[in-house]
Structure 1
Amino acid sequence: MACRDWLSTLWRASFRGVPFFVSHDEEAPGRRLVIHEFPNRDTPFIEDLGEAARHFSVDAYLASDSADGQAAALVAAIARKGAGTLVLPTHGPVQVRAVTGARQREKDTHGYISFRIEFVREGAASGLATVGLAASQVFAAVSALASVASAVFAGTSVAGWPARVADAAAGTLQEAAATFDEVRTTYAVDGAVSATVRDAVASLADDASVLVTPTGADGAAAEQLFAIASDLFGGMEPADALRAIDGLADFGVSDAATGRTRAAVAAAAASEAAARAMRLSVLAAYAEVLMASSFVDRPSGITARAQVAERFGAEMSRCVGGLDAELFVALAGLRGQVCDYLTRLITDLAPVATVEAPRSMPSLWWAWRLYGDPARAEEIVARNRLPHPSFVPTTFEALVS
């Protein structure tokens, strides 16, 4: 059994982009518990108030002829207001705020400056979040992801390689355009939106070989993908859009081939960069579609939130090392905002209860019995997929409202 090459999988440590080395780091998770003790009672009652603020303690150091200048940059990063991205070797990137930073130098270690820094994980953007505010934060996170995706695609390694490396990325862009057009022609899309998407898809397919050439990649390709995805899925019924997105979550994902030439490996990496830009655009549109979706009950909202965590988590797991740190943070930010929105929405949705009765009764009777409203008989039929409204089984589901 092969041993893991740990050094090749470590993240390059930094805070706000200022690099440093780490000799020791700690993460302190926990819960906020209130212990209630009562007279003449041996067992306490422990009240759980939620997760405690998560703290990180880092022993960092700088060792070089320019350690003093690097230390000054790190001090400035620690003292700056607001949250920043902390990257730790085995933890990866996380949004934090610096609490304290102790700079240390010893007379016998010139060129070596150490720090003891305390961080706390970034929290909610505001103390009180309404559904509307949470939704606006989702759209802001979508814009942030689009910006990062454009920069990441522009960094695709094609310069200095044979033309077939750039052709591989261009071909994947054309495949992405064809995939979007297939969705457009398969599902019902608003007429005006369909025409706009058709023209945008054709433009992307025609310009693919210009957007990726042997001299470099243009981030505008990712911007076009994001615009097409947003328009296309925004012009569909949310239910149809979610079904279409299901089939695109793993676009271009394949096991890395081995035993090939260096040029072939570079071509595969360039193709994957284009495929990832496509997947990111779909994830951004997915977040926007959820903002337009309606959830009839609490379980449906909870299911949607779990799917968000799973889909974004899958793409985040494909981020490798420090090169993808910014993208990882942008994906985590959007995932967090969508989950926060759904969590806030879930609290306003009715829970679902299981009703048990000694005998079968018509849905009309149950609608009056449960809600005092016969018009809700169809709701009971639809929720339980009943073949006939006159025969509701002795055990069925109903909204608690």
Structure 2
Amino acid sequence: MTITPDNFSSILDTIDNLVTDAKTQVRILKDIVGLGGYNATTQSIDATSDAVSAAVVRRLALVRIGVVSTQVAFTSRQDGLSFLASMSPLFDAEIEYSSSSNEIDVFMYFDNLLSSIENDVRQRCTGLPELLTLELKKATCPCALAQKLYGDGSRDEEIIIRNDPVNPFFIEATDIEILSR
């Protein structure tokens, strides 16, 4: 299926219905922005054979990213800041492209949208725990580690998910990521 401005709304609705995780939706939308001429290597917009259609598809995907980003859940401040770092170049490229094309209304819209996304993510990340690296000296049971770190052994699952150990019953002596609280 070829993505066109005419069928794009239907594609976005399908993505919304099929993919319930907001981070995954954003990742898919970022790929669609790439199909619209965004070059992740140069962090700029490349010329396409149909610049108008590419711009419409790219811009609609960016608008949807703005909507979906409000639903992304962050587990740490670093998680939120990393999300912003991955989003900003997409919007900056569109802002630069619209500015160089003399599309002032588009420039203002995406500049304001990026500011709104940044404000929202930063506000939601305030008060979230820091992501820390802990050096384990010996193999440790995640349940015991969660009890020692957080006073709650039931938080072992978050340690397992974050670090993906070979054996989920014992984490080998290595550096692992944990939340500060």
1:319 counterpart SS class: helix
Counterpart residue identity of residue 149, structure 2 = L
Match of 2:124 in 1: 345
Q: RMSD over aligned Cα, in angstroms? A: 2.4
Residue in structure 1 matching 2:13, options 188, 208, 231:
231
Q: Is the contact between residue 30 and residue 61 of structure 2 (CA under 8 Å) also seen in structure 1?
A: no
Aligned counterparts of 2:73 and 2:104: Cα–Cα separation in 1: 34
Residues 248 and 351 of structure 1, relative CA distance in 2, 3 Å threshold: same
Residue 179 of structure 2 corresponds to residue 399 of structure 1? yes
Larger Rg: 1
Counterpart residue identity of residue 120, structure 2 = Y
Residues 255 and 307 of structure 1, relative CA distance in 2, 3 Å threshold: closer
Match of 1:248 in 2: 32
Aligned-pair distance for 1:175?
A: 3.2
Residue in structure 1 matching 2:137, options 358, 361, 374:
358
Counterpart residue identity of residue 82, structure 2 = T
Bigger relative contact order (CA 8 A; separation at least 6): 2
Aligned-pair distance for 1:242?
A: 2.2
Task: Report the TM-score, using the length of structure 2 for normalisation.
Answer: 0.82
Q: Is the contact between residue 84 and residue 118 of structure 2 (CA under 8 Å) also seen in structure 1?
A: yes
Please list, as runs of the form range in 1=range in 2, the aligned pairs for 1:188-267 lying within 5 A after superposition: 204=6, 225=8, 227-228=9-10, 231-235=13-17, 236-237=19-20, 238-253=22-37, 256=47
Counterpart residue identity of residue 107, structure 2 = F
Aligned counterparts of 1:301 and 1:289: Cα–Cα separation in 2: 14
Aligned-pair distance for 1:351?
A: 1.0
Match of 1:371 in 2: 150
| Structure 2 portions without partners, runs of 5+ | 38-44
Aligned-pair distance for 1:230?
A: 5.3
User: Mean Cα displacement is larger for which, 318-327 or 308-317?
Assistant: 318-327
Residues 348 and 229 of structure 1, relative CA distance in 2, 3 Å threshold: farther
Match of 2:68 in 1: 289
Q: Is the contact between residue 298 and residue 351 of structure 1 (CA under 8 Å) also seen in structure 2?
A: yes
- Considering fraction of residues, name the structure with more helix: 2
Aligned counterparts of 1:345 and 1:383: Cα–Cα separation in 2: 20
Match of 1:175 in 2: 2
2:73 counterpart SS class: coil
> How many residues are treated as equivalent by the alignment?
171
Aligned-pair distance for 1:243?
A: 2.8
User: Mean Cα displacement is larger for which, 238-247 or 272-281?
Assistant: 238-247
Aligned counterparts of 1:331 and 1:311: Cα–Cα separation in 2: 10
Please list, as runs of the form range in 1=range in 2, the aligned pairs for 1:135-146 lying within 5 A after superposition: none
Task: Report the TM-score, using the length of structure 1 for normalisation.
Answer: 0.39
Match of 1:319 in 2: 98
Match of 2:53 in 1: 274
Aligned counterparts of 1:286 and 1:336: Cα–Cα separation in 2: 13
Aligned counterparts of 1:353 and 1:247: Cα–Cα separation in 2: 30
Residues 229 and 333 of structure 1, relative CA distance in 2, 3 Å threshold: farther
1:353 counterpart SS class: strand
The structure 1 segments of at least 4 consecutive aligned residues displaced by more than 4 Å after TM superposition are: 254-257
Aligned-pair distance for 1:246?
A: 2.7
Q: Is the contact between residue 299 and residue 351 of structure 1 (CA under 8 Å) also seen in structure 2?
A: yes
| Structure 1 portions without partners, runs of 5+ | 1-173, 178-200, 206-224, 258-267
Aligned counterparts of 1:364 and 1:242: Cα–Cα separation in 2: 33
| Cα deviation digits, residues 308-346 of structure 1 (max 9, x gap) | 211101112212447311211111000010011011111
2:92 counterpart SS class: helix
Residues 233 and 291 of structure 1, relative CA distance in 2, 3 Å threshold: farther
Aligned counterparts of 1:324 and 1:175: Cα–Cα separation in 2: 26
Q: Is the contact between residue 229 and residue 285 of structure 1 (CA under 8 Å) also seen in structure 2?
A: no
Please list, as runs of the form range in 1=range in 2, the aligned pairs for 1:22-61 lying within 5 A after superposition: none
- Considering fraction of residues, name the structure with more strand: 1
Identity across matched positions, percent: 22
Aligned counterparts of 1:248 and 1:331: Cα–Cα separation in 2: 17
